[in-house]
Amino acid sequence: TARSEEVIQEAANLLQQNSHTKLRNGVSGNSSRKLAAKLRISRTSTRRILRRDLGLKPWKKKERQKLTAAQKQKRLERATALRTRFEDGMHRQILFSDEKFFSIEEAFNPQNDRIWSAEQPSEDERAVERQMKPKGVMVWAGFGYDAKAPLIFVESGVKINTDVYRQEILEPVEEWAQDHYGVDEEGYWNEWTFQQDGAPSHTSTNPNPDRFEVPTQTWLNDHFPNFINKNEWPPSSPDLNPLDYSIWSIIESETNAQAHTSVESLRRAIIRVFDNLDQETINRAIDDWPRRLNAVIEAQGGIPASDTKAQQAI
């Protein structure tokens, strides 16, 4: 029969040589169609062998960031130091921050953006159109446990250099923080810590004599009670920023559920979704941070395995 012990064993041998559906290390791929041809049986029998006899499931491959050995070492060392520095719930004093470009185009996730239809939808229905250089807006946001800093839009065409970052973002954040976190009777800050990633405008240490810039790291040291400096934040670590691993995607899934006809429409949507984003959702993202630090440490600075099983192919 098609599912004889010999055929099942032959299938297992082929998959041992290459368990991927595409060419790998010079060995042809083993999709159900290709396996069926190799085994000289139907695709239905092949799928039954794969699932029932061999107990296999098709898992989707996932993209992840490539890290060098040096980056992994820094991620390990700095995640370990941050875990010690912010133990016992101290992470709730951090204001995490990030910038993101929002396009007027529809957000698209090929993994789960599907159309239910008895017949194949038209090409127009299935298409998610893309422009070469779509219009959009650059947005800065800062979130902490029980903290949501005001949303800041960077004007179109403005490059975020050291001066712009300080004047348009950090100075308004300082004003907001004085009210939110407060100062004591002697005028000293109550405890909180500012976080940012390693973008050039965030990490400048030497003034530019041609522009008379105040170095960002110097300004932060002079104006904020605590901050995670450029030698303390792990490099290439969006998996450690709550905005990157949670909050931005929540906002974008609503603001860009459909394409916008204008930048102004997009701005209004971002403001609306931002204002409606409940603090409980933010707090959950913030409280996931210590676990993520531990995961990076356990992975020796590499990218940790996903918390949930990879989605199976449909």
Confirm if 3 and 45 have CB atoms less than 8 A apart: yes
d(CA 287, CA 151) in angstroms, rounded, equals 21
Q: What is the predicted pLDDT for the residue at 135? A: 84
Report percent pLDDT > 90 for the chain: 67
Bridge partners, 139 (sequence order)? 100, 153
User: Strand 94-103 vs strand 193-194: parallel, antiparallel, or unpaired?
Assistant: parallel
Which amino acid appears at position 105 of this protein? E
pLDDT surpasses 50 at 309: no
Return the structure tokens found at 21: 């559906």
In the chain the beta strands, taken as DSSP E runs, fall at 94-103, 136-144, 147-148, 152-154, 193-194
What pTM did the predictor assign? 0.76
Mean pLDDT score across all residues of the chain = 87
Lowest mean pLDDT among 103-107, 118-122, 303-307: 118-122
- The whole-number average pLDDT for the span 281-304 is 97
pLDDT of residue 236 exceeding 70: yes
Instruction: Return the pLDDT at 312.
Output: 30
Least confident of 53-62, 97-106, 273-282: 53-62
Alpha carbon 206 to its chain's center = 30
Phi, psi of 102 (to 5 degrees): -105, 125
Task: Provide the pLDDT for residue 295.
Answer: 97
Cα distances from 137 to residues 76, 103, 188, in angstroms, run 34, 7, 36
Give the per-residue pLDDT at 152: 97
Does the pLDDT of residue 120 top 80, yes or no?
Answer: no
Burial class of 151 by CB neighbour count within 10 A (0 to 12, 13 to 18, 19+): middle
Specify the pLDDT at position 310: 31
pLDDT tops 60 at residue 215: yes
Helices 5-17 and 32-39: angle between axes, nearest 10 degrees: 130
pLDDT of residue 164: 92
Assign 258 a pLDDT band (cuts: 50, 70, 90): confident
Mind listing the pLDDT tens digit for each residue in 81-94? 999 999 999 999 99
Categorize the per-residue pLDDT at 278 as very low, low, confident or very high, splitting at 50, 70 and 90.
very high
Query: Does 296 score more than 60 pLDDT?
Result: yes
pLDDT digits (tens, 9 = 90+) for 152-193: 999 877 889 999 999 999 999 999 999 999 988 888 899 999
In this prediction, residue 129 carries a pLDDT of 52
State the pLDDT at residue 133: 64
Poorest-pLDDT segment among 103-112, 190-199, 261-270, 282-291:
103-112
